[in-house]
Each structure stands twice: as C-alpha cells, then as structure tokens.
Amino acid sequence: FSPDSRFVVSSSIDKTAKVWDRTTGNLLRTLTGHTNEVLSLAISPDSRTIASGGGPGSGPADNSIKLWRASDGSLLRILAGQSRGVTSLSFLPDGKTLVSAGRFTDNSIKVWSTTNSSPLRTLTEHMLHVNSVAFSPNGSLLASASDDATVRLWRASDGNLQRTLKVDSSNPSQVT
C-alpha cells in the first residue's frame, strides 16, 4: 500500500511491477524494464516514488534497483552494484534514503541516496545473506534480518551497529 492509501503495488516473476488503484482494483500502470523477476518493492513515504528490486531468476540476473515516478510510471534512476538479487527495500521516512538487502556475496546491506546512483555506505556485519530490512517509524534505526539467525539494529544516521539480537537455534522463539 502507498502511504497515502491511493494505490497498491505488486511484483511478479514476469519481470514487472504493477500499480493498482486501491479503491477500484483497476490496473493503473505496469512498470517494465527489469530483465528478470521483481523480488522486492518499496514506496516512498510521500507516495511519489516506487523502488523495485530485480532478482536472479533463471536467466541473466537482474540485480538492479529501479526508481519509478508513481504518478506516471516513468523510470527516474537505476541503482546498480548489487549481486544475486535484491530481496528487500526500505525507504527512510525522509524519502531521500533507500536501503537494500539481498543475496550479496559479501552479505551486505547497501544504503543509497535516491538522488545518486552509487551507495552512500555498505553495512557488512552479517555472516550470511540478509533477507529483510526496515526502518523504525521515526527513522532513527534500521533493522536487518539475516540467514545468520540475527537481527541487527543500526543507527540510521551513520550506519553504526547498535545491537545484535540472536535467535537461539535450539529454541527459535528465544532471542538473546
């Protein structure tokens, strides 16, 4: 759902993202340009920008993040430098910063400016692939969840690791 609740966006293995009118269910537009499945989506807090992340798929991997104008579906920018698929995207509440996670060979998280095509920083404390990223409601913290059975909390302003929550493998409901 867009933050203004006007539209919903869906991703697909058909290499597209679709924008739907929330009240009527009508398809408003199809975002095309990825060369493989679209694994992840995020909508900016002002509902003006849609971010889509490409996946590895069965053919040549599409490891890009594409930024789209929500009002007309035009492509604004391509963020490259990912590897093996983008599994999660999240906008900082200011809408000017986007974070991506994926099956990167270095198990990293990339922090991007939405006005630049190269990462602002790379966070590399996880030992295995990062599956999900999300900002706290006030934007002060970034949470990342990984196959290494941890959730890491990062200070959003500078990327400093604040805390690591570890899942007890013998009791998955227990976090330390």
Tokens representing 4 are 């203004």
* Residue 32 contacts residue 64 (beta carbons within 8 Å): no
- What pLDDT is recorded for position 176? 52
Cα separation, 152 vs 46, in Å, equals 27
Residue-wise pLDDT for 54-99, tens only, equals 877 666 667 789 999 999 999 999 998 666 788 899 999 989 999 9
**pLDDT the model gives residue 171:** 63
- pTM of the entire structure? 0.89
pLDDT tens digit string along 153-171?
999 999 999 999 998 766 6
